[in-house]
Copies of this chain bind each other. A is one copy, B any other.
Amino acid sequence: MTDKKPKNIFVQGAIAASFIGESIYKHQTQKNIGAHSIFLGQVRSDVIDNKTVTAIEYTSYEAMALEKMHEIRESIFSKYSLTCMHVYHSLGTVAAGEICLFVFTSSAHRKAAIDACEETVERIKAELPIWGKELFEGEGYQWKENSLGV
């Protein structure tokens, strides 16, 4: 365990594709990296009882989520040989087609980055106190439910 302060992971609204490109670009100075693994969650325009999801509105118990994410990060770093790891999650409204989750792991050899990315995504979905409200076209909403590991 380190005594580092939990890093903020939350961004207001969608995560821009250009931001992801820039994050990748910034790693080109780290010449010990051989592999990057990236997971992106995108808001789907599901149709539920003839109503179409146009956006998801995310809320979180932020203080607890950042503490928990800090724990996850420490545990992933102790388990895998990573050079770095970045996590961003949206809060507020993210329209269908936009990115709401960005997990980015890097390592010298591919297995560590790939496995760490997948495990981090699973843990984020299972352990971070974040809730998505699926907003329907016109009006109405439904609270999103995560199915684990699918």
Binding site for B on A (CB under 8 A): 17-22, 24-25, 27-45, 96-99, 106, 108-111, 114, 118, 121, 147, 149-150
Contacts and interface: CB of A to CB of B under 8 A. Distances in A.
A28 B43 CA distance: 9
Query: DSSP class of A's interface residues: helix, strand, loop or mixed?
Result: mixed
A35 B39 contact: yes
Contacts of A40: 24, 35-38
Contacts of A34: 41-44
A35 to B, nearest CB: 6
A53 to B, nearest CB: 9
Given A32-B44, A45-B32, A108-B44, A114 B39 contact: yes
A114 B44 CA distance: 17
A104 B17 CA distance: 14
A150 B9 CA distance: 29
Contacts of A42: 27-28, 33-36, 106
Contacts of A109: 147, 150
Given A36-B38, A36-B40, 9 more contacts: A18-B21, A21-B24, A28-B42, A31-B97, A32-B44, A33-B44, A37-B37, A37-B39, A39-B110
Which 9 pairs of residues, A with B, have the shortest CB-CB distance? Answer: A21-B21, A31-B45, A17-B25, A38-B38, A36-B40, A28-B97, A17-B24, A34-B44, A31-B96
